[in-house]
Each structure stands twice: as structure tokens, then as C-alpha cells.
A and B are shown apart, each in its own frame.
Chain A
Amino acid sequence: MKRVLARTVYMVIVLALSSVAVFYAIRLSGGDAVAARVPASASAEDREAVREQLGLNDPFHEQYFDYIGSLVSGDLGNSLTNNAQIGSMLTEHGRNSLILGAAAFILVFGVGIPLGMLASLRRNSWWDGGIMTFSVAGMAVPNFWLALLAVWLFATQLGWLPSAGCCSPKQLVLPAVVLAMEGLALTVRMTRSAMLENLNQDFVRTLRSGGLSEVKVIGRHVFRNALVPIVSLAGLRIGQIVGYALVVETIFGWPGLGQVLVNAVLRRDYPVAQFFSLVLVTIVLLSNWLADVGYSVVNPRLRRG
């Protein structure tokens, strides 16, 4: 309990510090924001007027607290490129990202854990070899390259699935699989090694010699123990999915938070870049916090500390 509280306080402090860092980083490109708003032929005075109007000449801490104040009051501002309201961008793209992220998350655990179990229970068989080869390949191939291969095979050659777009179930398949691949491969490996470790324990032999059926030994005892390290790392997988979503959403034209942020950075749309940087940083920090807390909840040995 003490640990959970400590981690929560730590997370809040870090969140505050990161918001300052993100704010400052995006402000560094403030000059470009001016350039984006005035024609190239504008005079120095005009530029200065725009700077003043944007509040870029105020002291840094004032700008920061103004910004946080406007966030709290729900006034998120508008995009510089198409004047869209950032608030409605958040709900729309947030929903899309949630769909993609949830699909990838389900794949990582829903497919990764059964595959890892199969590999461990049929150890040194063809199943094991095949699954582990798949797992090594999943970690070695860069995801943008995997995305391209998948588009080439399933969209260009076979024509089974669309190559890009949002948000029908068919369009979801490729981005979700590509986004999940590395986490899936890692989960398979971890499940396999955690299962093997537990299968070799003395309590398993005791249970078996006590006449418990194999299904119960595996399901109730071995699997439950093996699940601890895997589930406790679910938070880290979320962070990983957020990072890769930046690339995968851009490749597949999936209009989620990652694509919005990348496009905003490329177009120097700094109110959008700033806000969505903060959103993604917050998600990552929350998932790291979840990983920390999850670990101490499922691992009784850490509870005292």
C-alpha cells in the first residue's frame, strides 16, 4: 500500500515535470509557428505583432501557467492548419486510437499467452520450434517493414484486405497485427519461459503424485504462477504500443492520436503538437504507473517494501 502511494506521488511529480519539458520543447519551435501564420513577405513588425498576439513574448512561466489554465478550463484551442477544434480532435482520434490499441493489446495477450503455453507444453517439438522461430522473427523485423510486406502481400497481391484507412473491421486487421507483433513475440517468449520454470518446480511433482489431473495441475497451478510476471508487465506493453502507434498509424493512414501528432510536428501545427504530446506522455506515464502498481499487487513479495 505504501509502495502504491509512493509510486502515485512519484507519477504526479513526473507528470508535472514532463508537462513543463514538453511545453518548453514545443515552444522552442515557436518561431516556426509564426512563420506558418504570416506570408513569407511579411515585415519584421508584422512578425513581431504575431509573436505578441500568440503570447510568445511573455515570460516562460506565465505562458506555461496560462496554458495549463486554459487546459483546465477546457479551452483547448484550434489547429493552425485547418482550424479544427482540438477538443473534438481528441475525442474523434482518441476513439480511433483506442480501437486500434485495444485490438493490438488483445492480440498481444490473447494470442501470445496461448502460443507460449503451447510451446512450453510441447517442448522441443515442431510446435515449439515453429512458435519460437515466429517469435524471434517477430522481434527482429522492424514493424514498418513488416507493415509494408503485409500490405504488399494481403492488399496488393491477394487483395484480401484494404491497404489503409479507417475504421471497418477489415481495415483494422493489418494495423492491429503489425502494431501487436513485437509485444506478441515478447509475450510468447516470456510465457514459455515462465511456464517451463514452474513446470520444473517441486510442487508440481507433489501435485501430480497426489493424483491431481494434468489439466488441473497446469490450469490451476502452473499457469497461474506463470501469469504473474506476464500480467504485471501489461503496463509496459501499453507504453510500447503507444510508441509504435506513432509509426503504424502513419503507415496505415489510421487517424488516431499518433498520426495526429506526427502530422502536427511535420506541419509545425504547434498547439496540436503540444496538446497531443502531453496526451501521449500522460498515457505512457499512467501505463508505467500501472506496471509498477500491478507488479506489487500481483507479487506479494514486494508488498511490504
Chain B
Amino acid sequence: MKLVQIAGYLGSGKTTLIIALAKMMAGPGLKTAVIVNDAGEVPVDGRVMEEFGLTVKDIGGGCICCQVAGNMIRTLESLAKGPRPDLIFVEPTGMAVPKTIRENVLPGAEKNGIVMGPTIVLLDATRAEKLLTYDTLKRLVSTQLRDADIIALSKADRVTPETLEKTHYAAAQINPAAAVLELSTHSGKGLVELAGAVRERVVAA
């Protein structure tokens, strides 16, 4: 089972990206499941994904990076014992710290047959300037970007080339090791590259 985390601040397009990637990658040889940790009290994202035909495990009651980390482990164990999907997308809340989730999963990864895929962190290009400069948010968003293997500048079709260039530069400054790509689930820009990374890339523990 390959675990791919799709992280990023609230409203950055995580659910939409997972649906788009799952549709693009669907095929007879690939069983996909999604673990969704919704920030709201009544889950919505999981229901939306189910409407698009995805197998979804919904985790509520707090953030999987800290408050309900144990539920995440139990969910992975249950997937390992049961349907054993080839690919598991994890959608944490928009407040989660990706590295913490990864570190929670790693100790049981071998036992559960989990291979770590890339951590993809979305940065909403339409709000990047605010998110990277405003109050406590800048610490959270910077931390999320720092933890990324791939940074996807989402909603890239809705900003000017100048804004996109500035956002690209800012993201690369925070995490020079990450690949940074422009993403628009609306136009399809960046989806093929991300699907390729999800399929092929394995990240060392």
C-alpha cells in the first residue's frame, strides 16, 4: 500500500485534487482508498468523494496530526487487514502539519506493508500572499510547505503570471528541496505530472 499525503491550508483544493487524481489514475489494476480528516464537525469532504465513487474512510473528532493520531493508525491497520488498496490518499485537515502525520505513520509502516509516497502540499495561489504573511497563519503555511516533497500552486489559472511567479519564488525560498509546480484542476494543468509522481515516487523513511 502506498500512502500519499495531499496536504495544505483550508480551501486550497485538496478534495478536488484527490478526486481529479483518482479519476485520472483509475484502472483495473489500481485499488484506491482515501482517508479524510475533515476540519468541520460534520464531515463533508468524505461524502463528496463518495459521490465520485471513491472508497473513503472518514476520521473526525480532531486533527490527525495530533488530536486523533491513533485513529489514523487504526484506520491504516484496518485497511491493511481488509481491502489492502494499492494507493491510499490521506487528506488531513487544513490545519495539520504533514511531517507529524508522516512520523505517526512511519513506526508501523513496515508491519502494515505501507510504502511512503510523496507528500504533496497545496498552496492556494489566489491567497498565497496573505497566507505567507498574515499572523499565525504564516507559521502554519510555511511549516506545511517545508514538509512537502512537492508543492503544487493550486488555482494557478486564476492569478496573473506575475503573481504565480512571485508565489513560486516564495514557495521555493521556504522549501528549496521541493519540486514546485503549477496546478489547475479546472484546466488540468499539472495533473499529469502529479499523477506520475504519485504513481512512481517513493520517499525514503
A and B from one assembly? Answer: no
